[in-house]
Chain A
């Protein structure tokens, strides 16, 4: 069971457990087995089952067993048989016995392998404690037969996963050559898109008490920001995605710019991604505006409507007579883009605007960096050169540059009261990272669980971060150069901030890891497709379940008990490498030795519970006292209306 499922997510408080059991609608499989929180699991031994007080890193094991106990009630399965609890509409496709899983930490394990239309399930019961490997097929990026069969007819299969691990299985080739091996079946279901099948998300029909598709309402979110106002209007020009097919239907633009002008600007900005408002400062009215690069080209094309738009953005903010344009790219790349028709805003054309390059590298550099990181952390960590190996991946350095960029944006908006325009080349990768991080720094709403969901829905999903391409859902083409861990990098940056400000975020680490796990799982529709238009076309909201339905139906799993809500507080994180850490509980979670210790949260939760209990007793005493006082004054009319008498 992977690490963090353990303590923060599951308390060992029996009361808590009972409460969960009491809710009949709750997904037994989800809450109990952690199959949504999939991973490599090791079932606990009998000892751990008995120790009811354990709450440590291996409580995942305990939780797992408790989970099984509960699963028995709900799914009616025998925990001893290690049978697979299926999700609604999940069907077993094939299974094989005597498969060997080469675990890099434990060694070879012999057991049975089951493939469904959603997951891969391997269990080894010969061993004590039993070993279970349970992961959605969606995390597989590459499945390959390694080398020819051995003389004994053993074939080995290697799996490369999107979630920082590789798996290796050895299996005897079926003698009947007509029969498909379990791995062939697995390959078919692991890459449904390549096999003209639909993703499991379209079949999965779980009903949750809350509908996550309703979390984000663009107009409500703009209203929260006080929009429209005298300077900004909500335009319907992109209602049918005609202006820009990768933008949302509702966009916010300066009132002085007409829809006709917007159309003209759209031909000047790459992919028609015109400058539109992301966020507005409630006091200074300084705005964060996002777009794609201007199509300046080598001859220095200009577009007077675009210039007018940027001037209008500046004018909408009375506090400042300047506008900052943050180009996320390294300046060299921005210059090189002129050759391909793109480029950046010249100072001649955009007076009063200052252009800053944030030196963040492109998707290919990031993909390579993560590949190197995986090499360094999985499966084994080279002790003596750990730090220099980590440095050589540049991963944290990229994180630093992204955070530094977002910090500069937030600083200009907050301290400088200046509006900013952010873009990269197309405005859907680095731009999304920068604006959403800056927004988290600037607006405490995005540090709440629901606020963060809105932020993702808005800055990433509605503004067309190409999730399908970047993740490659169900697509076997693992060498696709369009794949890149841009969203993972963003979540990593958020995690770095939660580390620096442990009390400023309503969500915990488990929330962030859950989001990343379901980025790949294809269980929910949230991260499918490349744009809002595509999602509507595919009827994703109608045909799939939203991740937020699942999350919001069991919020207690994701709440940071240390959270303190400060309504208007800006966070300025420290971006020096000295304060950045590798996110061990995500990147190295498969390594059993790196399981995190009991987090602070656990103890804090205990304290909160203790306080609540004491508080209750104090209140009882108070009631008692009040009763005594009032009975002394029997007959007094106040008695009947004393509020303390109502029993809660």
Chain B
């Protein structure tokens, strides 16, 4: 019986492959039962017997991609259920990714219309690998450098930064191959490496001619781009081009804008220099700055500080509010820790684990504090917005380096204030302006190089996307882009092809490129979406519900809000209306920045949310206009979990035939119809119109439910869970523990009371 089993399997290549897989795993279990006594020769035989039948398959390598090692047969477990089923195939490790090619012919990849051109759904790029676990004798161990040496595990579990989980069984392949592939993957994914080893610098892909969308995005890498932006926002600040060669500072952007009164740029290598972010139509503006070095002579320090704050104040009406973000927001380490905790809830190995964790879902999420961090950031941004919009005061936000939380808060405030940044190109331009040109240390924060010292690592940019997602989720029609766009963007951070996320500063970028690839420009930008998706797939980036502005987005000419603007002498300090902290002595200013303490700007200090309620409620009462100020609701029930990003790979939460895709598809269809009709009318060609059979054309096309295209995780996790069976929770018995005796009470208390 035992002996016959493999023969049965191998002799029957005509039986359906899924059945084969089932047999395979049954076989694995048998092997497990028999233990290591199972003769190794038999396994060899199986392999030999199998080989001639199997077609040799290779991944479609990208230009510049090289295979480091491969192994076959490897069993890749499907996540769908507990049965530990899987498919056999070859596992490759290249200089770009870990990829698995199934022995089965799969239709999924050819049929889907949301396909990434750079990697497939079953690939994981080297920089996207988060952790690797090895299963040794049923025990799961985290793989670190030390463990890699000799032993290799029977099962390898890869947790990815995009929250996918892959499980591979290594026991079917030759020991030598298994060792090689395991060591190869562990080495290339986990070991510290140098920047030039990243795939971006081997990639020889050519950027396609379809660069339309990229070109619309303002890259902020030339003085012209900045001038344009300054003109658009009508700022009176001054563009600095003196840092063209990074002579002023290597930490500052190549080009930047400062308050017009600042003349001396040379001191402290630009530290503490207020960098202009955005100007409100009233004239007040938002600035960001890094801390001044503290080891200064006191007098010098204060003098410098005064100059800077005065310069900001001078920008408009001589009022300024400053905020030290490190005081009121979580630190980069807090953010990292919270996210580490948070993401664990989505890296689920099997269904049992899923249902067990389902019961404590809400408190688990809360305990990570991630949603609270999102709320705090949005809250801070609303406070900044309130200063600019309501009080028309200049705002200066500060932070140690001025390139993390400053980028985050300033971008969020700009999205809330300026509808331009809610368009696709506007948003991309904003990321370029604040984050890329603004010198956010992407390389260190994402830890693309697997540096052992993880202090620098922190998902600040992801946090920004999370906050934007909250806004999109609450105020959908205000945004031209969809949540799918944000999800794809968050994935792209870990695709080591785009130079956008590979450097720590503008100087870093420029100096590195000069050395490594003197000819190439700067590598492809992530905004060149055609590298990843064809134009049809890119349609999913657009929000069909976006309420386009009828008139072109011309900024309203500023109407003076307050009389004081006209009557105010520009030299005198002005106490801002209401609870301003900016008293008329410069001393208090110094104290403020010096001691790094500012109490909350408004309202009671213990309840920051209450402080902005008034502002929020006043805004809420105003007529809704998606093309003006936008504020998020910050109450607990309004902050949601980014389901698409976090739950897309978990089959237990996929809704067959449901989810927001049902709406999106229908809306896109309707929009297309409206556009078709418009075109017909615009042509004013009645003969053309006659041809258009409106009735058949306008009937909603029946969607076939159950087709894998219509699953809540769409357009992700396409090939997962195709069966149309409900997912019945397990382990309900232990679910609700009630402490009172209500559960044991009788259902009908007044059974014998006569009916009313």
Contact = CB atoms under 8 A, between A and B. Distances in A.
Contact of B681 (A411, A504, A617): A617
A340 B746 contact: yes
B710 to A, nearest CB: 10
Nearest to A611: B674
A457 to B, nearest CB: 20
B260 to A, nearest CB: 37
A125 to B, nearest CB: 18
Interface stretch (A303-311, A343-351, A619-627): A619-627
Contacts of A397: 359, 735-736
B371 to A, nearest CB: 7
Contacts of A534: 755-756
B346 to A, nearest CB: 9
B475 A594 contact: no
A431 B311 CA distance: 72
A574 B694 contact: no
A503 B666 contact: yes
B715 to A, nearest CB: 17
A578 B635 contact: no
A330 interface: yes
Interface string B475-489: 111000000000000
A368 B742 contact: yes
A638 to B, nearest CB: 15
B652 A381 contact: no
B363 A401 contact: no
B647 interface: yes
B636 A386 contact: yes
B670 interface: yes
B362 interface: yes
Contacts, number: 281
B674 A610 contact: yes
Contacts of B623: 47-48, 51, 53-54, 56, 58
A361 interface: yes
B662 interface: yes
B538 to A, nearest CB: 22
Given A365-B743, A607-B670, A411 B728 contact: yes
B641 to A, nearest CB: 8
Given A410-B726, A569-B657, A577-B359, A593 B635 contact: yes
Given A57-B620, A391-B361, A411-B726, A593 B613 contact: yes
A396 B735 CA distance: 12
B729 A404 contact: yes
A575 interface: yes
B696 interface: no
A318 interface: no
Q: Which of B371, B674, B755 has the most CB of A within 10 A?
A: B755
A641 interface: no
A418 interface: no
B113 interface: no
A634 B91 CA distance: 75
Chain B: interface size category: 35 or more
Nearest to A363: B747
B736 to A, nearest CB: 6
B15 interface: no
Interface in A358-392: 358-359, 361-365, 368, 377, 381-388, 390-391
Given A58-B621, A502-B658, A625-B687, A364 B745 contact: yes
Contacts of B609: 383
Nearest to B638: A594
Nearest to A624: B686
Contacts of A608: 670
A58 B363 contact: no
A381 B747 contact: no
B712 A500 contact: yes
A592 B617 contact: yes
Contacts of A363: 747
A404 B655 CA distance: 14
B725 interface: yes
Interface stretch (B122-130, B388-396, B597-605, B700-708): B700-708
A621 B667 CA distance: 26
A503 B662 contact: yes
B736 A578 contact: no
Interface string A30-72: 0000000000000001011001011111110100000000000
B537 interface: no
Nearest to A50: B623
B39 interface: no
Interface in B363-420: 363, 365-367, 371-372, 375
A593 B749 contact: no
Size category of the A interface is 35 or more
A574 B727 contact: yes
Interface stretch (A258-266, A283-291, A595-603): A595-603
A615 interface: yes
Interface in B702-756: 702-703, 705, 712, 724-729, 732-733, 735-736, 738, 740, 742-750, 755-756
Nearest to A362: B747
Contacts of B647: 578-579
A386 B747 contact: no
A340 B686 CA distance: 80
B545 interface: yes
Given A424-B747, A607-B667, A625-B689, A365 B637 contact: no
A574 B655 contact: yes
Contacts of B653: 574, 576, 578-579
A618 interface: yes
Interface in A520-562: 529-531, 534, 562
B617 A603 contact: no
Contacts of A156: none
A614 interface: yes
Contacts of A530: 755-756
B378 to A, nearest CB: 12
A293 to B, nearest CB: 10
A584 interface: yes
Contacts of A365: 738, 742-743
Contacts of A361: 736, 738, 742-743
A573 B662 CA distance: 14
B686 A628 contact: yes
Contacts of B727: 572, 574-576
Contacts of B622: 47
A276 interface: no
Given A383-B609, A404-B732, A622-B694, A577 B621 contact: no
A502 B710 CA distance: 12
Given A388-B366, A600-B545, A618-B692, A625 B686 contact: yes
Contact of A577 (B362, B660, B686, B703): B362
Contacts of A45: 621
B480 to A, nearest CB: 14
A198 to B, nearest CB: 13
A502 B660 contact: yes
Contacts of B680: 618, 621
A611 B694 contact: no
A596 to B, nearest CB: 9
Nearest to B753: A482
B689 A400 contact: no
B663 A503 contact: yes
Given A411-B728, A603-B547, A611 B700 contact: no
Contacts of B700: 564
B692 A429 contact: no
B624 A592 contact: no
Given A404-B728, A562-B663, A603-B547, 18 more contacts: A47-B623, A333-B744, A340-B746, A384-B372, A388-B362, A404-B732, A501-B655, A503-B663, A572-B656, A573-B658, A573-B726, A574-B654, A576-B358, A593-B620, A597-B474, A600-B476, A614-B674, A625-B689
The 4 closest A-B pairs by CB, nearest first: A386-B636, A56-B624, A572-B726, A621-B689
9 contacts: A359-B733, A362-B747, A363-B747, A365-B738, A381-B635, A383-B375, A564-B666, A600-B476, A611-B674
